[in-house]
């Protein structure tokens, strides 16, 4: 057992273990025969210490670093009990993450049920991987991490020290460069024959990011910038793999997923089948939170009951500048939020005397062309008053960065999403009636649809390639610093 432990330690911990002069604890050279495989006497089916150590030595492929102190702990005491204790800690990292979302991303409200308590009483060598995420995207993250780490270790091998490439040059390393830029999500397709203007453009973007002279040439400085970007991408991948471990190990099908940083909504019916729609999400000052709920019904031609946080800020500001704004856009004003509150003529209100602190009114907007919710709203009651809906400003879907809402998510072609949901539930005969209905109404679904709002700054596209996004809410920082 010590020989395998020594191997695992030598792979996982640098050579300081062997350098007594450095002051670190050195592992004595093994001269005796390896000890027999040890198992838990109370549970013969439990994995052996060797199996657990080998399993833990694979932590790096999941973007998890087992602290060196833990390997030293095992070197000092390789007993089955100690090995199992350290393995249990690693398993918990792999199961629900190393970091607590409530500390490092407080806007994350999706609850994950740990697998470990269920498994630990009957864990066998064949079930050690059961704590890993089974979401299809997770495997793609693992593969992408392996590729990026390989680039860091092979730059000198593939790109000679004195190599400089400029437009028109040919070199055997060009194919390697093409793949590297694709893995970094800095290019899609690049010519293989010679260094082209497309290569120059991609390298210039990298050079500008790291504030070096952007000449578009692949020289020593550009290669250093590519290595720096690769290391940064590796960090971002690890952050998002941690977020994925915060999610349940599997998600039910079908479900609707709101990809906040990706500005899209997906109707997902299996691991390989989904339909995506462009989305508008909350602006940085009114961020769309991460949470899960269920869509239970569809409201057609909805009234918009304006949340107090919006009525007392943006709506109030517009009313102060233009008192006729409320009537013109179909807003009704009520004296309070109480049931039966009297209706108030907005032209009789002195809006200038109110602020966010003393704003007493409830404001509702009737259905129509300028209604902020558009023609449809997917009802999913939640503590955040966040839901999916149509929009009165479809032109905003043409923008690349779509952070324009006050927290809710606007969905392009939401009628098509509704049609997909209804047909999947055997309610296809009602689609035409829903889409043509002129009055306000509500259609209850036969079965509630799971709804997930998630935030990932790296995510696979439909071809399985990892795409990196802007951290629109600046939520990666705390995780990057800790991981």
Judge whether 226 lies within some domain.
yes
205 is a domain residue? yes
Question: In this structure, what token pair is assigned to residue 336?
Answer: 């309070």
Give whole-number Cα distances, 101 to 70, 97, 248, 384, in Å. 24, 9, 13, 18
Cα separation values, 106 from 96, 109, 418, 477, Å:
16, 8, 31, 13
Q: Are residues 80 and 204 in the same domain?
A: no
150 lies in the same domain as 278 = no
Query: Can you give the pLDDT at residue 332?
Result: 93
Catalytic residue among 171, 408, 463, 474: 408
Say yes or no: 225 and 296 in one domain. no
Tell me, yes or no, whether 154 and 41 share the same domain: no
274 pairs with which residues across the strands? 268
Say if residues 318 and 311 touch (Cβ distance below 8 Å).
Answer: no
Whether residue 244 contacts residue 138, with contact meaning beta carbons closer than 8 Å, is answered with: yes
Q: Please count the structural domains in the chain.
A: 4
Which pLDDT value is given to residue 56? 86
**Which of 82, 97, 131 is the last residue in one of the domains?**
131
Q: Is 408 a catalytic residue?
A: yes
Residues 354 and 431 in one domain: no
Two structure tokens written together for 433: 């009636």
Residues 6 or more apart whose Cβ sits within 8 Å of residue 100: none
pLDDT of residue 106: 94
Please tell me whether residues 182 and 56 are part of one structural domain. Answer: no
Residue 248 domain flag? no
- Give the closest residue to 356 by CA, choosing from 316, 304, 305, 406: 316
Domain end marker among 131, 154, 184: 131
- Indicate which CATH number applies to the domain containing 386: 2.40.440.10
CA–CA separation, 372 vs 23, rounded Å? Answer: 67
Same domain, 176 and 281: no
Dihedrals phi, psi of 400, to nearest 5 degrees: -80, -45
Identified catalytic residue from 62, 199, 255, 389:
389
Provide the pLDDT for residue 120.
63
96-101: long-range contacts, CB 8 A cutoff, minimum separation 24: 96/245, 96/246, 97/242, 97/243, 97/245, 97/246, 98/64, 98/242, 98/483, 99/242, 99/479, 99/482, 99/483, 101/246
127 and 144 share one domain = no
> Of 80, 98, 131, which residue constitutes the final position of a domain?
131
75 located within any domain = yes
**Same-domain check for residues 24 and 98:** yes
- Render pLDDT for 59-106 as a digit per residue (tens, 0 to 9): 889 999 888 888 898 888 988 889 888 888 888 889 899 999 999 999
Residues 22 and 80 in one domain: yes
- Give pLDDT tens digits for 316-371: 999 999 988 999 999 999 999 988 899 999 999 999 999 999 999 999 999 988 99
Q: Are the C-beta atoms of 89 and 70 separated by less than 8 Å? A: yes
Residue 464 and residue 424 in one domain: yes
In sequence order, what are the beta bridge partners of 379? 297
Segments forming the whole domain that contains residue 236: 138-243
The enclosing domain of 172 has a CATH number of 1.10.101.10
| Same domain membership, residue 309 and residue 263 | no
Q: What is the pLDDT of residue 128?
A: 66
Model pTM score: 0.86
Q: Which of 240, 241, 245, 275 is nearest to 261 (CA)?
A: 240
List per-residue pLDDT tens for the chain, 483 residues long: 555 444 444 444 443 333 333 333 333 333 333 333 334 444 555 678 888 888 888 888 999 988 888 889 888 898 888 988 888 888 888 989 999 999 999 999 998 888 776 556 545 555 667 788 999 999 999 999 999 999 998 998 899 888 999 999 999 999 999 999 999 999 998 999 999 999 999 999 999 999 999 999 999 999 999 999 999 999 999 999 999 999 999 999 999 999 999 999 999 999 989 999 999 999 999 999 999 999 999 999 999 999 888 999 999 999 999 988 999 999 999 999 988 899 999 999 999 999 999 999 999 999 988 999 999 999 999 999 999 999 999 999 999 999 999 999 999 999 999 999 999 999 999 999 988 898 999 999 999 999 999 999 999 999 999 999 999 999 999 999 988
């Amino acid at each position: 057992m010590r020989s395998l432990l020594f191997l695992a330690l030598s792979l996982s911990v640098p050579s300081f273990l062997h350098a007594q002069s450095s002051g670190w604890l050195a592992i004595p050279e093994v001269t005796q025969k390896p000890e027999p495989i040890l198992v838990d006497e109370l549970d013969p089916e439990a994995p052996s210490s060797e199996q657990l150590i080998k399993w833990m030595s694979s932590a790096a492929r999941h973007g998890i670093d087992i602290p060196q102190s833990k390997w030293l702990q095992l070197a000092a005491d390789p007993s089955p009990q100690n090995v199992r204790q350290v393995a249990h800690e690693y398993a918990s990292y792999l199961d629900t993450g190393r970091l607590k979302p409530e500390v490092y991303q407080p806007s994350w409200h999706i609850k994950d049920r740990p697998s470990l308590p269920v498994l630990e009483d009957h864990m066998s060598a064949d079930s050690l991987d059961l704590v890993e995420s089974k979401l299809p995207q997770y495997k793609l993250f693992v593969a992408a991490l392996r590729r990026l780490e390989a680039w860091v270790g092979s730059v000198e091998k593939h790109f000679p020290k004195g190599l400089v490439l400029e437009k028109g040059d040919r070199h055997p390393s060009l194919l390697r460069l093409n793949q590297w830029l694709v893995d970094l999500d800095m290019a899609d397709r690049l010519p293989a024959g010679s260094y082209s203007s497309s290569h120059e453009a991609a390298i210039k973007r990298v050079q500008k990011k790291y504030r070096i002279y952007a000449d578009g040439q692949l020289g020593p400085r550009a290669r250093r910038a590519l290595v720096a970007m690769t290391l940064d991408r590796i960090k971002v991948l690890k952050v998002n793999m941690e977020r994925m471990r915060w999610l349940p190990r599997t998600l039910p099908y079908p479900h609707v997923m709101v990809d906040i940083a990706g500005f899209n909504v997906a109707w997902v019916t299996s691991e390989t089948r989904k339909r995506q729609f462009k989305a508008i999400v909350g602006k940085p000052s009114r961020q769309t939170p991460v949470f899960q709920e269920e869509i239970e019904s569809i409201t057609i031609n909805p009234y918009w009951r304006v949340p107090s946080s919006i009525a007392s800020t943006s709506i109030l500001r517009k009313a102060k500048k233009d008192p006729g704004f409320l009537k013109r856009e179909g807003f009704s004003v009520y004296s309070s939020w109480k049931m039966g509150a009297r209706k108030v003529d907005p032209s009789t209100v002195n809006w200038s005397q109110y602020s966010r602190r003393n704003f007493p009114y409830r404001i509702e907007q009737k259905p129509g062309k300028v209604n902020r919710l558009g023609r449809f709203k997917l009802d999913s009651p939640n503590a955040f008053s966040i839901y999916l809906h149509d929009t009165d400003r479809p032109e905003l879907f043409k923008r690349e960065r779509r952070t324009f809402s006050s927290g809710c998510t606007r969905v392009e072609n939401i009628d098509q999403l509704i049609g997909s949901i209804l047909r999947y539930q055997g309610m296809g005969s009602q689609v035409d009636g829903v889409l043509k209905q002129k009055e306000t109404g509500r259609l209850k679904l036969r079965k509630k649809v799971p709804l997930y709002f998630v935030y990932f700054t790296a995510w696979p596209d439909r071809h399985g390639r990892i795409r990196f996004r802007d951290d629109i809410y600046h939520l990666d920082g705390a995780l990057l610093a800790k991981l």
